[in-house]
Amino acid sequence: MQFNMRALFFLIITFAGGCTFAQSLKDSTVNIPFLSGTYSVQFPGGDLADRFGVNSNIGASFGLKLKSNWYLGAECVYLFGNNLREDNIFDSITSSEGELITRYGDFASTAVSERGFYASL
């Protein structure tokens, strides 16, 4: 009986001390910067689906988690695509053969594409 009481006392002191030390640790907060890059393929819907086809975008974002647990961030995205479904936008300035005519009466070549830019804070 004496041996069991000593072992029990030793176990209680050992585990109670560990719990005490675990509770005395302080939580520390630090500033943490985040940097990420993105790429996505987009399928337009609604009115945009009538005008444009599939497009892509590429972007980057930066964020900072402050010591006070606030998060600040900024993001920039560039949108691009070459699939334009409306081919009648130059009808008023093209010849009967489909050649584009400049204001000087010369023929011009064009490349129509979808471009855009998005930024947020």
* Within-domain flag for 4: no
Instruction: Examine residue 103 and state whether it is found in any structural domain, yes or no.
Output: yes
The range of the structural domain enclosing residue 58 comes to 29-120
pLDDT, mean of each 10-residue run, the chain (121 residues):
70 67 61 94 88 92 92 96 80 78 82 89 92
How many domains are there within the chain? 1
Q: How far is CA 51 from CA 46, 66, 120, in A?
A: 10, 43, 26
Q: Is residue 2 part of a domain?
A: no
**Torsion over CA: 85, 91, 93, 98 (sign):** positive
pLDDT at 19: 54
Q: Looking at the domain assignment, is residue 9 inside a domain?
A: no
**Which of 40, 42, 60 is CA-nearest to residue 52?**
42
**Does the predicted TM-score (pTM) go above 0.85?**
no
Residue 75 is assigned to a structural domain of this protein: yes
For position 108, what pLDDT does the model report? 83
CA distance 27 to 104: 73
